[in-house]
Amino acid sequence: MTHNDISLAMFIIQAREKIGLSSSLLAKRSNLTEEEILDIESGKELFLSSTVRQKLAKGLKINPSEIKSYEKNVEITFGSENIKEFEDIAKIKMMAGETEYLRCPVCGSEMNFKKIKRYDLEDNIVYDYKASCKKCPYQIT
């Protein structure tokens, strides 16, 4: 089976069943909630934060990079018709500091990423994430 044939959800279920764990047992071993596991296994999560990925890999006794290879590849999957979806994913990826696979959804070029620190009304530090294409006018603000 190639990576394109099976989803992250399928991969996690198969890996879990291979070592004979129920999803609640996997949740316990991974130090994640059962709900988080169910979200991943139902295909709700197409990619994971690095923390969740590492915990899950530990629970499944596999390498985190194996899981990562089944996560939705933004670079390949997102065309310009999916810009809204791309931006939602891009923001989460930027927050996780995982921008290495993000490419401009308009022209496919590399992008510049910026993390901007500001204070909200209650003086808490918050971060804004912005991205702009190195080649075309596309940007996420």
Return residues touching Zn ion (CB under 5 A).
104, 106-107, 109, 133, 135-136, 138
Q: Which helix (H) or strand (E) holds 36?
A: helix 34-41
Name every residue whose Cβ is closer than 8 Å to that of residue 140 and which is 6 or more positions away in sequence.
87, 90, 91, 129, 130, 131, 132
Count of other CB atoms within 10 angstroms of residue 55? 19
* Min dist. Cβ of residue 133 to Zn ion (A): 3
Nearer to Zn ion, 49 or 139 (CB): 139
* Min dist. Cβ of residue 91 to Zn ion (A): 17
* Min dist. Cβ of residue 140 to Zn ion (A): 11
Rounded alpha-carbon distances, angstroms, from residue 75 to 31, 62, 79: 30, 25, 9
Nearer to Zn ion, 68 or 114 (CB): 114
Nearer to Zn ion, 7 or 132 (CB): 132
Count of other CB atoms within 10 angstroms of residue 135? 13
* Min dist. Cβ of residue 86 to Zn ion (A): 12
138 neighbors 132 (Cβ within 8 angstroms) = yes
Nearer to Zn ion, 64 or 108 (CB): 108
